[in-house]
Structure 1
Amino acid sequence: MRTPVPIHHITTPQLSIAYEAHGKVYGDPIILLHGFPYDPRAFDEVVPPLVARGYRVIVPYLRGYGATRFLSPDTMRSGQQAALAQDLIDMMDALGIPCAALAGYDWGGRAANIVAALWPARVRCLVTANGYSIHDIANAATPASPEAEYRLWYQYYFHTPRGAEGLTANRRALCNLLWGLWSPSWDFLPERFAHTAPSFDNPDFVDVVIHSYRHRFGYVPGDPALAAIEEALAAKPLIAVPTISLCGEDDGVTPPRQPDPDERYFSVSYERRILPRVGHNIPQEAPAEVADALLELLLATRQTS
């Protein structure tokens, strides 16, 4: 039986953020960020080798997941990319972390990309999934190839009232389906999903998810308080921190393209690594590769700092 990980809470301007903390508090910080529809359990096998090397590892539950809660019923339940990035900056401020190594995928990777692009002094290095994941909202409604459109069916479903009702009524079954479709070569046991599924019972999960997938296509307005961040992201800012991009060769939603279309968005050290027989849930399917990429970048930045 899996030993439960203690959950801590930190208060930011909008949230009580639930997070898991590992290692010694004076270790150099690493923040690991999950995506949709996952939670911190994705990093369970990534954390130990980092802690063994003396690092402090923070793994938060994103807004709408687990025990993370909004402080006010009046706060917009935004899932837009700028909200996720602001949450990350706010959490770092609340924890007194001036600069951290970041690793994330899906929603978490997007938050890490944005912070690295707009606040590079706060990011020592970056391990991301699928390269540059900042949304180009102005062009998001431009049709893609039929194959790419097919893979995004769930997003179009969430654009409809039926999709919102379906996620509400069938959140665990739908998320379990996505796990299988997005990681077709990962034969995960039911217990794996069962350990994560309670995070979807958060009372704001559906609202945050639905807003996220509607906002990224420009179909609903964002939080006015985040307009300046979204405006900065519309310029497609470069990422100027050392980065390794990990891409699952069997990713069922965002398979790697050739040649790499994202290299142009990274202005310093950047490397893309394609992982065979790995799908979308990279840290849970390939934990050693994620930990090794982080340790490699941390060593390189220590030598050059």
Structure 2
Amino acid sequence: MKRVLAGVLDVAYREVGPHDGKPAVLLHGFPYDIHAYDAAADLLAAKGVRCLIPYLRGYGPTRFRDSATLRSGEQAALGADLLAFLDALGIERAVLAGYDWGGRAACVVAALWPGRAAGLVSCGVGYNIQNIPAAGNPAAPDVEHRLWYQYYLHGERGRAGLAANRAQFCELLWRLWSPTWRFSEETFARTARSFEANPDFVDVVVHSYRHRFGLVPGDPALIEIEAQLAAQPEIAVPTVVLLGADDGVGPPPATDTDAERFTGPYRRAIVAGVGHNFPQEAPDAFAKAVLELL
């Protein structure tokens, strides 16, 4: 495990592969951690790729540098964290690859700072930038019921429930979101330590699911970034979108409704037998996508 001071964070990260290899930043989602990339990173490293796998804010050993910093989980914060991580390591351009929260960070940087992204792999959701001004518009009932965990966290009962049952809450989401993935108790326990040990996990998660619905203010330092994201900027960098056919929280639609948001080279694939945690469930397909962009 390595550490680097990057923006408002002291980031813990894993590095796999040759230091002089072409860089790829692999970003985990909620509620997962860097172990989602154990197999994929080894595959990429064997091909000469320098894999950088950071713990996001609120996870594992990553810590805020200042106790006064808002424990924000908003999309602008995730994007700013990734940009600061690249700057701190002196990486001018890298393939940015992730899913869920990590995919959002990658999409934000690819959209707003395209010169820093040699390519984008976005899993689970193609265009993973939230349209917060439109967040009050209801979705179809079959979509709404899958978002129960977000609505649960809007209230103080939900905050208390997450704080008291971090591992149980997250394991339930793993099972609901990846119904065909037969992960072991050991696999989950290895990641669960990232939820249990980080003092900021609950605050960051709750803020994320409240901010995206416009229920709480964001970090004042990130207002300008959020304003740019509200315009739903296009993504021009070469992109591969990978979707799990068995994703329990966001089943992929047959029609690609995101393609028009990508103006550069673009490929979308739906992979059978894969749920929400794409890199850990299908490391070969994930690694192939990263190599395609390199």
Q: Which amino acid aligns with 2:96?
A: L
1:83 equivalenced with 2:77 (yes/no): yes
Residue of structure 1 equivalent to 2:160: 165
Q: CA deviation at 1:296?
A: 1.3
- Residue 182 of structure 1 and its aligned partner are, at CA, apart by 0.2
- Written as runs of structure 1 = structure 2, the 5 A alignment for 1:220-299 is 220-298=216-294
SS of equivalent to 2:39 = coil
1:1-305 equivalences in 2 (<5 Å): 7-129=1-123, 130-201=125-196, 202-298=198-294
For these two proteins, the number of residue pairs brought into alignment is: 292
Which residue identity does 1:110 align to in structure 2?
R
Amino acid at match of 1:164: R
- Structure 1 counterpart of 2:6, which letter? T
What residue ranges of structure 1 are gaps of 5+ in the alignment? 1-6, 299-305
Over residues 228-267 of structure 1, what are the superposed CA-to-partner deviations in whole Å (9 max), with x where a residue is unaligned?
A: 0000001110000110100011101011112111001000
CA-CA distance at 1:54 after TM superposition? 1.1
Give per-residue Cα distances to partners, 1:80-122, cap 9 Å, x unaligned.
0000000000010000001001110000000000100000000
Shift >6 Å, 4+ stretches: none
Please provide the CA RMSD for this pair: 0.6
Letter in 1 for 2:205: V
Secondary structure class of the residue paired with 2:128: coil
After superposing the two structures, state which structure 1 stretch, 20-29 or 236-245, moved more.
20-29
CA distance in 2, matches of 1:18, 1:296: 27
Question: Normalising by the residue count of structure 2, what TM-score does the alignment of the two structures yield?
Answer: 0.98
TM-score normalized by structure 1?
A: 0.95
Which amino acid letter does the alignment assign opposite residue 80 of structure 2?
Q
Secondary structure of the equivalent of 1:79?
coil
Corresponding residue SS for 2:216: coil
In structure 2, C-alpha distance between the alignment counterparts of 1:220 and 1:84, rounded to whole Å: 17
Alpha-carbon shift at residue 49 of structure 1 (Å): 1.7
Q: Is the 8 A contact 2:7 2:85 kept in 1?
A: no
Question: What percent of counterpart residues are identical?
Answer: 58
Q: Which residue of 2 aligns with 1:303?
A: none
- The DSSP-based 3-state class of the residue aligned with 1:96 is coil
Give a deviation string over 1:186-221, Cα, whole Å, max 9, x none. 111111101100000200000000000000000000
Counterpart residue identity of residue 283, structure 1: P
The amino acid of 2:154's aligned partner reads H
For residues 283 and 141 of structure 1, the distance between their equivalents in structure 2, rounded to whole angstroms, comes to: 31
Matched-pair contact (CA < 8 Å) for 2:179–2:248: yes
Question: What letter matches 1:44 in structure 2?
Answer: D
Give how far 1:277 is off: 1.2
Uncovered stretches (5+) of structure 2, i.e. residues with no partner = none
Name the CA distance, whole Å, in 2 between partners of 1:101 and 1:12.
19
SS at match of 1:251: coil
Secondary structure at 1:46 match in 2 = helix
